[in-house]
Amino acid sequence: MKKILSIILAAATTLALATGCSNTNVTVPSVTVPSEIESIVSEGKEIIDDLNVAIPTKDRSGNDIKVPEKVEKIVSMAPSTTQFLIDLGLADKIIGIDTNSATYADKLKADVKQFDMMSPDNEAIAALAPDIVFTSGMSSVGGTSPFQSLIDSGICVADIPSPSSIEGICEDLEFIGACVGKGMEALAYSKALTAFIAGVEEIGKNIPADQQKTVLVMMNVPSAEYPTIYTFGKGTYMNEMLEAIGAKNAFGDKEGWLSISVEDAIAANPDVILMDCNWLPDAADQVKALSGWENVNAIKNGAVYAVNEDLCSRPNQHVSEATLEWAKLIYADQFSNFKANFDDTANEILNKVLG
């Protein structure tokens, strides 16, 4: 087992072959396990010895949990978890999802039940007799878990708070995998994500300071009814995505998830605006037309782009794709030749190494 994990780590490093700047030709070779990685395997053994893919006894919130040795029936109450479970090949074991996970319904059994993540029907969930229920920080916004009655009944409820860093995302992936008997596969995804972000950083760190762009990520378009703008500052995994690219967050001096005024957004004068709101298909055009924004650099230069909200707002390994999407919009020249496709490469790692 340790040998396999060493090979996974070594193979995952092929994702980080990104160096140089504007004319960088970055490709991801087909995944192989050549003799040259033996030194990497040897160097990685100490790390491997510390890895633990045993069944967890605490969830990501630190609560004591008792996960069944064999998990056959899963309820997932967060889209990021549902997507990852599907990626792990467990679609047939998912018997219940939150309504926001309905976007994956075509990959699940036709009779999968749907529940509101904020006000779940615990009686109906219990009737499904799940082996484990994965919940998220979104459900406990008020500080109280709406799943307490399930916990009291003895059902394993594993809470996963919203991660604040990419490292946290990796730890969440490993936790989920360990709970459902896919610890090795989840570890491969986790290490591949770390390597992929490192590859992006190799380009981002070489962008000169005077060429670094200030970026504002907007999760809505301000209106008379909702006059504030939702974005984020430091202490969030999205801020780390911008940092990896070599960009400056327009509100990186503030902490956490933010609600800012239109006046502050204009004063920040971002060079690029990314619209992270799929529910508004014409969001970029709406921002370009906002009164009073005419002199903002991003508006003047036409650098307002819609991004895939599902990729960046669901904290799992797919934030790798979101990071690259952002990178190619913000620094088209520098990242134009970055050819890595995380999902394809991670799957190739899994197929070759795990058989």
The 10s digit of each residue's pLDDT in 281-302 is 899 999 999 999 999 999 999 9
Cα-only R_g, the chain: 21
Q: Which residues contact 220 (CB under 8 A, 6 or more apart)?
A: 226, 229, 230, 277, 280
Average pLDDT over every residue of 221-247: 96
Are the C-beta atoms of residues 273 and 297 closer than 8 Å to each other? no
* 304 Cβ contact list (under 8 Å, min separation 6): 272, 273, 275, 284, 287, 288, 298
CATH hierarchy code of domain 208-330: 3.40.50.1980
Q: Which two tokens stand for residue 135?
A: 């919940």
Does the pLDDT value for residue 20 go beyond 70?
no
Provide the token pair at 311.
């990729």
Check residue 12 and give its pLDDT: 43
Q: Taking the alpha carbons of 35, 36, 37, 41 in that order, is the dihedral positive or negative?
A: positive
**Greatest mean pLDDT among 16-20, 34-38, 334-338, 339-343:** 334-338
Model confidence pLDDT, tens digit, residues 198-209: 888 989 999 999
Is residue 189 very low, low, confident or very high in pLDDT (cuts 50, 70, 90)? Answer: confident
Instruction: Using alpha carbons, select from 239, 221, 320 the residue that is nearest to residue 277.
Output: 221
User: Cα 53 to the chain's mean position, in Å?
Assistant: 21
- H-run or E-run covering 50: helix 38-50
Straight-line distance from the first to the last Cα atom of the chain, in angstroms, rounded to the nearest whole number? 13
Asked if residue 342 lies in contact with residue 192, where contact means CB atoms within 8 angstroms, the answer is yes
Residue indicated by tokens 């703008």: 229
Regarding the domain with residue range 74-160, which homologous superfamily does it belong to in the CATH classification? Nitrogenase molybdenum iron protein domain (3.40.50.1980)
Report the residue count for the chain. Answer: 355
Task: Look at residue 342 in the predicted model and tell me its pLDDT.
Answer: 66
More confident residue, 24 or 290: 290
User: Of 150-159, 171-180, 182-191, which gets the smallest average pLDDT?
Assistant: 182-191
Domain boundaries, the chain: 2-52+184-203+343-354, 74-160, 208-330
Q: CA-CA distance, 160 to 137, in Å (whole number)? A: 6
